[in-house]
Amino acid sequence: MDNNHDTQLTSAEMAGLWGQYVNDTAARSVLAYFLMTVEDNQIRTVLELAFSSSKNHIEFLQKLFEHENFPTPVGFSKKDVNLEAPRLFSDLFFLSYLKNMSILGMAASSLAIGLGARSDIVSFHKRVLADAVKLHKATKEVMMEKGVYVRPPYISTPDEVDFVSKQNFLGKVWGEQRPLTTIEMSHLFLNIETNIVGKQMMIAFAQVAKRKKVKEFLIRGKQIAEKHVNIFSEILLDDHSPATMSWDLAVTDSTIPTFSDKLIMYHVTAMIAAGVGNYGTAISVSPRKDIGLKYSRLLMEISLFAEDGANIMIDHGWLEKPPHAPDRNQLVR
C-alpha cells in the first residue's frame, strides 16, 4: 500500500535527513582517523562496522537529495581530517566513544521515524536505527569481553509494588533526602559517562586545535564536564550508591593537527546539544527537588557554553544553516 500521496518532503523529514547527512559526514572523518590508529583487531572490527554504516547512509542520502532537487549539505570531507597524524586516543576510548554515539544515534533515529510520513524516508531511518542498535550491541560485547564494560549501580530487588503516600517523595531543596529512584540513578549514571567521554575528547581536541579561541573554548568545556561529573557522582555517593568509574580513556601527548577546527567545533557543539537533551529528560523524570534544581542550573551553564561555541563557528563561517522557512517579512519588503 502506497501512502506517499504527496511526495514533497515535510519540514520534519528535511530536518532528519539534513541532520543525518551532516552527522554521518562528521562521523566518517573521525572514524577514518580512528581506523588509521587503532591497534586492537576486535576494536578495529567495531570501528569498521560504524564506518561502513556512515558511508552507506551518506551514499543513500546523496542519491535522495539529487532525486528531490534538494541541495546536498556541505558537511565534512577528507580536508577536515589528517589521516597521517599520530595516535591521539587509546583503543579503549574508541569503545566508549562508539557506545555513546550509538545511544545518540538510536535516539535521533527514533524521533525521525516518529515524525516521518513518507514510507521511503521512514524505511531509511529504520535502517539507521537498526545500524545504531547493531553497533551498540557489538561495542558492548567487545567491552564485556575485555572486562571494561561499566554497569550502572546495582540495588536490591523490591519486595512488593508500592505507591507514593507522602509529599516528602518530592524531596527538599536541601537537607536529608529520600533514596534515589532507579530512574534517577539511571540518568545520573548516563550523564556521568557522557561527561567523562566529553572531557577526554575536549582534552585531545584542545591539544591539536589551531586557533587560540578554539583551544580556550575546549579547555573551558573540559572544566565544565569535570565539574558536572563531580556533582552527579556526589549525588550517587550521598545515596550510598557507587558512582561510575572510567577505564583508560587515555589521550596521548600528540599536538599534531588531526582534525580541522571546524570539525572539532561541530563535534563539541553536537555533544553539548545532546547533553542539553539528556539533562532536560533527566529533569522530567527526577521528582526530587534538589536533583531537578541541580540539573536546571547545569543546563543553563551548558546552554550558555553552547552559545559561545556557536558564536565562534559563526565568526569563522563554519556554521552550516539547516533548511529553513522563507523569511516572509523580507519577501514582502
- Encode pLDDT of 146-159 as tens digits: 999 988 888 888 88
Which helix (H) or strand (E) is 31 found in, with range? helix 11-37
Enumerate domains of the chain plus CATH numbers: 11-145 (1.20.1260.10), 178-315 (1.20.1260.10)
> Is the dihedral angle over the CA atoms 30, 49, 270, 123 positive or is it negative?
positive
186 with 237: CB under 8 angstroms? no
Residue 58 CA to residue 22 CA, distance in Å, equals: 9
DSSP 285: T
What is the tens place of the pLDDT at every residue in 198-208?
A: 999 999 999 99
Who contacts 117 (Cβ-Cβ below 8 Å, separation ≥6)?
3, 10, 12, 13
- Taking the C-alpha atoms of residue 103 and residue 327, their distance in angstroms, rounded to an integer, is 35
pLDDT band (50, 70, 90) for residue 277:
very high
- Collapsing DSSP to helix, strand or coil, 40 comes out as coil
Contact 42, 138 (CB under 8 A): no
Per-residue model confidence as pLDDT tens digits over 112-136: 999 999 999 999 999 999 999 999 9
Contact 104, 128 (CB under 8 A): no
Alpha carbon of 67 to those of 60, 99, 128, 199, 310: distances in Å? Answer: 11, 34, 20, 41, 32
- pTM (predicted TM-score): 0.91
Summarised one tens digit per residue, pLDDT across range 220-276 is 999 999 999 999 999 999 888 877 666 556 899 999 999 999 999 999 999 999 999
What pLDDT was estimated at residue 293?
94
What mean pLDDT is predicted for residues 174-203?
91
Burial class (CB in 10 A: 0-12, 13-18, 19+), 108: buried
Cα dihedral sign, 325-111-293-265: negative
* Contact predicate 13/117, CB 8 Å: yes
How high is the pLDDT of residue 145? 95
pLDDT at residue 1, rounded to an integer: 44
Distance in angstroms (rounded) separating the CA atoms of residues 223 and 282: 22
